[in-house]
Amino acid sequence: MASTGDVYAWLTGVLAELMQQTSWNLCPTQTVYNASCYYSSDITFNRLSGSQTQTIFDAPDGEWDLTLRRDIFMKTRGAVRDFNQTQAVSLYYRVYLAALSALAEQNTEVLLLSQAVSIGRMSLLDYIKSMLVASNATTADFFYQQLINATCGCYNTPLNASTTWGSSGMLLKAFNNSAGGITSWPDYQTAVCAANNAASPLFYEMVQQNVTSTGTPLAPGSIVPTGVNVTLVNNTVMTTNVTSFCATVLGNLQNWRANMTSTMQQLMIDRRLGDGRTTGKIATRNTIFNNLRNNIISQWPELFDPIFTVPLGTVATLPISASNTNNVTVLPSARVDILQTQFVAGVFYATQPQPAFLNITRRSIYTPDITMPDMATRAVARIVEVRAQQLETLGIRILHDPTYNYSYPDITVEDLLLAFGSALNTPDPYYSQPLCNTTSQQAANCTPVLLSDNQTTVFLSNFSLPWANNSALNLTKWGAGVGLQTAYNLTWWQGNTTAYLSCNLDSRAPEYQGTCMAMPVSCNATGNESTPYNCTNLQQPATGALLQGNVSDTLYRSQCEVPCDRQTDCNAICECYNNCDSNQICQCQACSTMNEASNDQQFQDILSGLPVSTSNPLAAISAPTFGRRLQQASPPDPVLSQLQAVTAQVSSVNSQQATIQSQMIALQAQVDQANQLARQRANDNRLIDLIQASRQDINAGNTAVNAKLDEIIGKQNQSLALAESASQALSAIAGLAQKQLAAQQALESAVQNQLSAIKVATYQGIISVTQALSLWKRARRDRALTFKTAKLANIPCNSLPKADYLFQLENGNIVDNTTARERYIGLTNRVISGLLLHQYRTNDTNCTDSKFSKIQQICTGPTTIHSFGVDPVFKRGTSLYTPDFDDINGTMVTNWYNCSLLNSATYNMPFLNKTVNAAPYCAELYNSQNLPYAFHYFPLPDRVGEPAIAQAVLS
The domain ranges of the chain are 21-80, 84-121+276-438+448-485, 510-594, 866-932
Question: What was the pLDDT predicted at 827?
Answer: 76
> For residue 560, how many other CB atoms are within 10 A of its CB?
28
* Model confidence, pTM: 0.65
The single-letter code of the amino acid at 232 is L
Q: Bridge-partner residues for 807, per DSSP?
A: 64
The model's pLDDT over 376-423, given as tens digits with 9 standing for 90+, comes to 999 999 999 999 999 999 998 888 776 665 678 888 999 999 999 999
Question: What was the pLDDT predicted at 639?
Answer: 41
State how far the Cα of 109 lies from the Cα of 284, in Å rounded to an integer.
10
Q: Which of 177-191, 837-851, 863-877, 934-948 has the highest mean pLDDT?
A: 863-877
Judged against a pLDDT cut of 80, whether residue 648 lies above it is answered with no
Judged against a pLDDT cut of 90, whether residue 465 lies above it is answered with yes
Q: Kindly list the distances between the CA atom of residue 855 and the CA atoms of 688, 692, 695, 848, 849, in Å, as whole numbers in the listed order.
A: 11, 9, 10, 10, 12
Question: What was the pLDDT predicted at 858?
Answer: 79
State how far the Cα of 187 lies from the Cα of 34, in Å rounded to an integer.
98
Nearest to 801 by CA among 696, 742, 730: 730
Return the minimum-mean-pLDDT range out of 700-704, 745-749, 790-794: 700-704
Question: What was the pLDDT predicted at 579?
Answer: 75
Residues 34 and 80 sit within 8 Å (Cβ to Cβ): no
Judged against a pLDDT cut of 60, whether residue 505 lies above it is answered with yes
Phi, psi of 533 (to 5 degrees): -140, 145
C-alpha torsion sign, points 759, 761, 766, 767: negative
Q: Which of 98-102, 152-156, 182-186, 825-829 has the highest mean pLDDT?
A: 98-102
Residues 335 and 315 sit within 8 Å (Cβ to Cβ): no
> For residue 363, how many other CB atoms are within 10 A of its CB?
7
Return the minimum-mean-pLDDT range out of 366-375, 563-572, 638-647: 638-647
Phi, psi of 561 (to 5 degrees): -60, -50
> For residue 372, how many other CB atoms are within 10 A of its CB?
26
Q: Exposed, middle or buried, 775 (CB in 10 Å: 0-12/13-18/19+)?
A: buried
C-alpha torsion sign, points 200, 206, 210, 215: negative
> For residue 57, how many other CB atoms are within 10 A of its CB?
6
Judged against a pLDDT cut of 90, whether residue 273 lies above it is answered with yes
3-state secondary structure of 589: helix
State how far the Cα of 40 lies from the Cα of 26, in Å rounded to an integer.
10
Judged against a pLDDT cut of 60, whether residue 706 lies above it is answered with no
Q: Kindly list the distances between the CA atom of residue 225 and the CA atoms of 132, 203, 254, in Å, as whole numbers in the listed order.
A: 11, 18, 21
- With vertex at residue 859, the alpha carbon angle to CA 855 and CA 862, rounded to the nearest 5 degrees, is 180
3-state secondary structure of 132: helix
Residues 114 and 108 sit within 8 Å (Cβ to Cβ): no
The distance of Cα 103 from the centroid of its chain, to the nearest Å, equals 29
* Per-residue confidence band for 286, with pLDDT thresholds at 50, 70 and 90: very high
Residues 770 and 530 sit within 8 Å (Cβ to Cβ): yes
Whats the size of the chain, residue-wise? 955
- Report, as an integer, the average pLDDT of 726-744: 53
Question: What was the pLDDT predicted at 825?
Answer: 74
Residues 928 and 917 sit within 8 Å (Cβ to Cβ): yes
The model's pLDDT over 238-255, given as tens digits with 9 standing for 90+, comes to 445 677 777 777 777 778
State how far the Cα of 777 lies from the Cα of 572, in Å rounded to an integer.
13
Q: Per residue, what are the HEC states of 15-55?
A: HHHHHHHCEEEEEEEEECCCCCCCCCCCEECCCCCCCCCCC
Q: Are strands 411-412 and 397-398 parallel, antiparallel or unpaired?
A: antiparallel
State how far the Cα of 272 lies from the Cα of 251, in Å rounded to an integer.
30
Question: What was the pLDDT predicted at 34?
Answer: 61
Question: What was the pLDDT predicted at 653?
Answer: 47
- Report, as an integer, the average pLDDT of 307-317: 72
State how far the Cα of 729 lies from the Cα of 738, in Å rounded to an integer.
15
- Report, as an integer, the average pLDDT of 776-790: 87
Nearest to 339 by CA among 263, 413, 402, 230: 413
Question: What was the pLDDT predicted at 416?
Answer: 94
State how far the Cα of 756 lies from the Cα of 839, in Å rounded to an integer.
77
Share of the chain above pLDDT 90, in %: 24
Question: What was the pLDDT predicted at 715?
Answer: 46
Question: What was the pLDDT predicted at 322?
Answer: 47
DSSP 269: I
Phi, psi of 693 (to 5 degrees): -70, -30
State how far the Cα of 95 lies from the Cα of 331, in Å rounded to an integer.
9
Question: What was the pLDDT predicted at 388?
Answer: 94
Residues 140 and 132 sit within 8 Å (Cβ to Cβ): yes
Question: What was the pLDDT predicted at 619?
Answer: 84
- Report, as an integer, the average pLDDT of 496-507: 84
Judged against a pLDDT cut of 70, whether residue 656 lies above it is answered with no
Q: 436 versus 48: which is more confidently predicted?
A: 436
C-alpha torsion sign, points 870, 876, 877, 882: positive
**Long-range pairs, 421-425, Cβ under 8 A, ≥24:** 421/458, 421/459, 421/460, 422/472, 422/473, 422/475, 423/466, 423/467, 423/470, 423/472, 423/473, 424/460, 424/461, 424/464, 424/466, 425/472
* Per-residue confidence band for 215, with pLDDT thresholds at 50, 70 and 90: very low
C-alpha torsion sign, points 221, 227, 230, 233: positive
Q: Which parts of 279-371 fold into alpha helices (H)?
A: 281-299, 304-308, 336-345, 355-358, 362-365
Nearest to 451 by CA among 459, 439, 443: 459
The model's pLDDT over 833-881, given as tens digits with 9 standing for 90+, comes to 767 777 778 888 887 676 676 777 778 878 888 888 999 988 887 888 8
Question: What was the pLDDT predicted at 590?
Answer: 92
The model's pLDDT over 580-627, given as tens digits with 9 standing for 90+, comes to 888 899 999 999 888 888 888 888 888 887 787 777 888 887 644 433
> For residue 13, how many other CB atoms are within 10 A of its CB?
13
State how far the Cα of 540 lies from the Cα of 246, in Å rounded to an integer.
61
Question: What was the pLDDT predicted at 924?
Answer: 93
Judged against a pLDDT cut of 60, whether residue 717 lies above it is answered with no
Q: Which of 110-114, 214-218, 709-713 has the highest mean pLDDT?
A: 110-114
Element (H, E) at 373: helix 372-395
Q: Which of 261-265, 649-653, 659-663, 677-681 has the highest mean pLDDT?
A: 261-265
State how far the Cα of 73 lies from the Cα of 799, in Å rounded to an integer.
9
- Report, as an integer, the average pLDDT of 902-925: 92
Share of the chain above pLDDT 70, in %: 70
> For residue 81, how many other CB atoms are within 10 A of its CB?
19
Question: What was the pLDDT predicted at 629?
Answer: 34
- Average pLDDT in the chain: 77
Q: 12 versus 741: which is more confidently predicted?
A: 741
Nearest to 626 by CA among 589, 598, 592: 592
Q: Kindly list the distances between the CA atom of residue 231 and the CA atoms of 128, 142, 143, 146, 219, in Å, as whole numbers in the listed order.
A: 21, 11, 12, 14, 15
Residues 816 and 33 sit within 8 Å (Cβ to Cβ): no
- The gap between the terminal CA atoms of the chain, to the nearest Å, is 60
Residues 23 and 66 sit within 8 Å (Cβ to Cβ): no
Q: Exposed, middle or buried, 4 (CB in 10 Å: 0-12/13-18/19+)?
A: exposed
Question: What was the pLDDT predicted at 211?
Answer: 40
Burial state string for 187-221 with b = 16 or more CB within 10 A and e = fewer than 16: ebbeebbeeeebeebbbbbbbeeeeeeeeebbbbb
- Report, as an integer, the average pLDDT of 256-283: 91
Judged against a pLDDT cut of 50, whether residue 692 lies above it is answered with yes
Question: What was the pLDDT predicted at 318?
Answer: 67
* Per-residue confidence band for 325, with pLDDT thresholds at 50, 70 and 90: low
- Report, as an integer, the average pLDDT of 808-814: 74
Judged against a pLDDT cut of 90, whether residue 71 lies above it is answered with no
Q: 11 versus 531: which is more confidently predicted?
A: 531
